[in-house]
Amino acid sequence: MQTREDKTREAIKDLSRVFQFELWLRFYFIHDDEGRLSINLDEETLQKMEEKYGHLGQLARTLTGKEITPETCRQTIVEHIMHQFDGTKYDVGHVPRMMDHAVFKGEIQLFNTWAGLHEEQLDRKVLDFEKWIEIYEEWKSSESAQKVNLALNIQDAEHHHPGSDKTN
């Protein structure tokens, strides 16, 4: 039987993968049509993504053809996550709590930082999503990633608790 900690770790991983997949989609498949950003995948590609990535392929289908803005992406991701996990794989209300969890937020921030730091490497050729995750997980266990994660945690703590430095 899964412990509460195991269930939390699993939920954070499941939810993180959706955000990570959406970033992967934008990284490789976004098109700029005179200032209008969109993801335009053909039916064959969408079917292959659905076969290979399951529900994440459905997210690609939902985003295809939409104008891509931060708000559109955020709304689409949250709707997808709620439909896919809340009240199905996890108890009703568990998903919103996990999305507000500090570990989840840290994971998303670390992944976004990793993608930014490795943009040149990732841009050399289109890597499939599983390869992105493999490279990310390898990097995440490195000493340099631990330093980045610590810096992000310190920055986040300072942002959320300004003036809490006892030396003031």
Q: Of 103, 102, 104, 52, which is closest to residue 77 (Cα–Cα)? A: 104
DSSP assignment of 43-102 equals: HHHHHHHHHHHTHHHHHHHHHBTSB--HHHHHHHHHHHHHHHHBTTTB-TTHHHHHHT-H
Are the C-beta atoms of 98 and 12 separated by less than 8 Å? yes
pLDDT at residue 148, rounded to an integer: 81
Residue 68 predicted with pLDDT over 90: yes
Half-sphere exposure (Cβ direction) of 141: Cα atoms closer than 13 Å: 5
2 or 125, greater pLDDT:
125
Break the chain into its structural domains and give their ranges: 4-160
Indicate the angle between helix axes 129-140 and 102-117, nearest 10 degrees: 100
Average pLDDT (93-103) is 93
**CA–CA dist 90, 147 (Å, integer):** 33
pLDDT at residue 152, rounded to an integer: 75
Mean pLDDT taken over the chain: 90
Question: 14-18, 131-135, 156-160: lowest mean pLDDT where?
Answer: 156-160
Q: For 139-155, write each residue's pLDDT tens digit.
A: 999 998 888 877 777 76
pLDDT at residue 157, rounded to an integer: 59
